A and B are shown apart, each in its own frame.
Chain A
Amino acid sequence: MVVFEKPHALCDVPLHYCPGCTHGIVHRLVAEAIDELGIEGTAIGVAPVGCAVMAYDYFNCDMVEAAHGRAPAVATGIKRALPENIVFTYQGDGDLASIGMAETVHAATRNENITIIFINNAIYGMTGGQMAPTSLPGQVTQTSPYGRDVTTAGFPIKVSELLAALDGPSYIQRVAVNNVKNVKQAKKAIKKAFENQVQGKGFSLIEVVSSCPTNWGMTPQQALDWVEEKMIPYYPLGVYKDKTSEEGEK
């Protein structure tokens, strides 16, 4: 009996990501959720600009490539045109929390019935390691070579906390993919985010604390350890908003 294999919703092509990049793990979790919910035939994905720009080649469902940061607006258009289809975006931190912040906040506040998978790895990967809106204080990047100085570059944006403050969105959870236990938790969260949409419950966003070994200058395992030691303390995991459960909001 097969206990683990590539999900069908993930295309049978090699991913272009660097060795040890957790994008691959999250892609798989999204595809597993799509498989398990039986929604591949109705799903339409929106790819971002950033490392995941070629996500349209990786998911077996219909896909569209959005301009940088605009995925929630594009997803809004698709969902308004095809309310019976399952529409999701897959975005990084520069895309979602910097250039696309307005689109993110407004899709959330409209409680647009879409699913957003948000990869927070505290850096711009595709362009070679620049400071992201979520880079940690003191974090050295190509554009914060002396470490992120919060007096000039400001503080990291905590997207889940920020969106949870709005009345609109239905479900906001932050997870991580740095170890087996957290990956399993992330899988549950991502599946719930899709389920919410299937049930018409509105806007769900899952923030996935991830790694970027290449641009962090670490081995893949060191990067996962850094997630545990530095990222998670700054970005605590948990459910930040849940209008879908009977208990109501946290």
Chain B
Amino acid sequence: MPKVSFKEDLCKGCGLCVNACPKQIIELKKDVINKKGHSPAGITDQSKCIACAFCATMCPDCVITVEK
């Protein structure tokens, strides 16, 4: 079962993972502010994840771990 997890406190909310996701299941959580003051990225529908790791590939801050 594919699983994507985000270390939210490291996220700078740049959104590059959002654009990289082919399934369009990542978005910035506008209602959350992390320690750094950014709205971190998160996954909206884990069940649609195919563990392609495109999000992690484009993440400049090693926020994302992908498992399957």
Contact = CB atoms under 8 A, between A and B. Distances in A.
A and B touch in the complex (CB under 8 A): yes
Interface of A: 1-6, 10, 14-15, 17-25, 28, 179-180, 183-184, 213, 219-221, 224
B60 A21 contact: yes
Nearest to B67: A2
Given A3-B53, A180-B20, A220-B16, A17 B66 contact: no
Contacts of A17: 60-61
Given A1-B68, A25-B58, A14 B10 contact: yes
B38 interface: yes
Given A180-B57, A183-B57, A24 B67 contact: no
A175 to B, nearest CB: 14
A20 B16 contact: yes
A19 B13 contact: yes
B62 A28 contact: yes
Interface string B30-42: 0000001010000
Interface residues of B, number: 25
Contact of A22 (B20, B51, B60): B60
A219 B64 contact: no
Contacts of A14: 10, 36, 61
A6 B68 CA distance: 16
Interface of B: 10, 12-16, 19-20, 36, 38, 51, 53-54, 56-62, 64-68
Contact of B38 (A6, A19, A179, A180): A19
Given A25-B57, A224-B16, 9 more contacts: A3-B53, A3-B67, A4-B64, A19-B38, A20-B12, A23-B60, A25-B59, A28-B62, A213-B14
A219 B16 CA distance: 10
Nearest to A23: B60
For the complex of A and B, the 3 pairs showing the least CB-CB separation, nearest first, are: A24-B60, A20-B14, A19-B12
Nearest to A221: B19
A11 B38 CA distance: 22
Contact of B66 (A4, A21, A22, A28): A4
Contacts of A5: 62, 65-66
Nearest to A184: B57
A21 B16 CA distance: 10
B62 to A, nearest CB: 4
A208 to B, nearest CB: 13
B58 to A, nearest CB: 6
A179 B21 CA distance: 11
A227 B13 CA distance: 20
Contacts of A4: 53, 56-57, 64-66
- Among A1, A3, A213, the most chain B Cβ lie within 10 Å of the Cβ of A3
Given A3-B51, A20-B12, A20-B14, A25 B67 contact: no
